[in-house]
A = this chain, B = another copy of it.
Amino acid sequence: MTAHSVRMRGFTRYTTVEDALNRLLARIGRVGPETVPVTESLGRIVYEDVYSPRDVPHFDRSAMDGYAVIAEDTFGASQHNPVKLRVIGEVAVGKPPSLEVARGEAAQIATGAPIPPRADAVVMVEYTKRVNDELEVFSPVTPGQNISKRGEDVRKGQRILSSGRQIRPQEETMLLQCGITEVRVAKKPRVAIASTGNELVDIQTPPGLGQVVGTNSYTIASLVRVYGGQPEILGLFPDNPEEIEKAIDDALKYDMAVFSGGTSVGKYDYLPDLLKEKGDMIIHGVATKPGSPTAIFFHRDKPVFCLPGYPVATMIAFTVFVAPAIRKMLGAERLDPRVFVEAKMSRKVASKLGRRDFIRVKIEETAEGYLAVPLRAGGSGIVSSMVNADGMVEIPENVEGINEGERVRVALFPHLVV
C-alpha cells in the first residue's frame, strides 16, 4: 500500500488512541543518567531514588523565640501565678551552646538556636516578662514543646526523592538541606525535528501563492522543551525521495525523531514508505480528530513520529503521542504532566462514535466553578483556536458528544515555563 493509495483512498482502518499508546509505550526504554549540580536541576527528572546522608535538622533547635527551660519548672504557671526563673544567659545562634540549664533556670534563645543541655522545652517570649535576670513565665510548657527535634524533617538514610520525580524548587531545597549538591537526573532525550513539503518556505521568507510558512519545526521544538526533551531542528525538506532519505538518516542519529508534513502531503508523501523500509511501522492512522494521519515507526528502539502537517493537528498529535513517549524515556513518574480541572460544558458538542475528539476550550470562572467554552472548530489549520484555548476536552470513542451543562475534565495546556 503506497502513501498515495492511503491518502487518496482514505485509511482503511484507524487505530484507537489507547491501542496506539500501548503499542508505542511498550517499546520505549529509558534514557541514561547524567549528573548535574542541584542548583541547575530545576525541571529535571530524578534518575534514581535519593537517600539523605544526614539528619535534618542535625541538632535539636528552638522553634520559637523565647527561653529554654526545664518543662517541669513551668507546670502550674498562669497569668495570675507566674513561675519565676533566673535567666543565666543567652544561647547564640550558629554555634554549640556554651551554657547548661539547671532547675529554676532559663536561657534566652532565638528560633533556630541549639537547645542547651538539660533544657527540654522553650517558652515563647509572648508568655514571659523579663526584668533583668528575673523571668516570669505565664504559661506552662510540656517536655519537647517548641523544639524541632533532630531528624524531625528527614532522618539519615531516609529516601527523600523517588526516581521519576520532577524537580521543583522544593525538591531542590530538600536536596541541598540534606547536603546533596549533585543529583543524577535523566538525560534530556534528543529529539530530531524535520518538516517535509514542497510548499514550505522558511520563517523568514514571505510565502507566495500556494506556499506555506514552515512553522511546525518550531512548534514541535517548543513542545519538546516543555515536556523535557532537547530539540534539534534539522530543517525543511522538499518532497523527493533522496532528500527525505537524507533527513531520515540524519534523524536516526538522535533518541527520537519527529517529522511533520507540510500543510499537505497527498501523493508526494514518500516519508512513510521510506520509514517502513528502514524499520517497523506500528501505527498509520489513528481514530482521533484532529490528528488522524499520524504514523509511528520504530527503527530498532528509536521511535519515529510522522505528525500531520496542519499546526493544530501537529500540536494535538504531539501532546497525545510524542509527549508521553518523551516522558517515558525520562522515566517520569507522571507520563502526562498536564493539570486536569473539572468544568461544566457551556454548550453541546457533537462527535462521532469510534473516534476520540479533542475539543479546544477556553476556561471561564463562574460562581459555580469552571465553565468550559468550546472554541469554533474551524479545522486544524486554525491556530487561533489554540491561542484562545486554555486546554482540551477529550470526547471518548464510545460517546456521541457532550451535552450543555455536562461535567467534563479539561486538560490544561502547559503554561508556566522558563
Binding site for B on A (CB under 8 A): 7-10, 38-39, 42-43, 54, 56-59, 61-63, 65, 92-97, 110-114, 125-126, 148, 152-154, 160-161, 166, 168-174, 176-177, 179, 181, 197-200, 203-204, 206-213, 215, 218-219, 221-223, 225-226, 228, 262-268, 309-311, 315, 337, 339-342, 369-370, 378-379, 381-384, 386-387, 389, 412-418
Closest to A206 in B: B179
Extra contacts besides A43-B417, A114-B210 (19): CB < 8 Å: A43-B416, A59-B210, A94-B211, A95-B199, A96-B210, A110-B266, A111-B266, A154-B383, A154-B384, A160-B387, A166-B416, A172-B222, A173-B386, A225-B418, A226-B418, A337-B415, A337-B416, A339-B415, A418-B418
Closest to A228 in B: B418
A93-B177 in contact (CB<8A): no
Interchain nearest-CB distance for A236 vs B (Å):
12
Ranked 4 nearest A-B pairs via Cβ: A110-B266, A94-B199, A112-B263, A112-B264
Interchain nearest-CB distance for A97 vs B (Å):
7
Chain B residues contacting A215 (CB-CB under 8 Å) are: 173, 176-177
Copy tally for this chain in the complex stands at: 2
Closest to A383 in B: B174
Chain B residues contacting A206 (CB-CB under 8 Å) are: 54, 179
Chain B residues contacting A160 (CB-CB under 8 Å) are: 384, 387
A313 to B224, CA, bound (A): 34
Interchain nearest-CB distance for A98 vs B (Å):
10
Instruction: Give the secondary structure class of A's interface.
Output: loop
- Max chain B C-beta neighbours (<10 A), residue from A309, A389, A415: A415
B43-A268 in contact (CB<8A): no
B384-A125 in contact (CB<8A): no
Contacting A114 at CB < 8 Å: which of B198, B209, B337? Answer: B209
Contacting A177 at CB < 8 Å: which of B97, B383, B412? Answer: B383
A198 to B38, CA, bound (A): 24
Contacting A341 at CB < 8 Å: which of B42, B56, B112, B339? Answer: B339
A225-B126 in contact (CB<8A): no
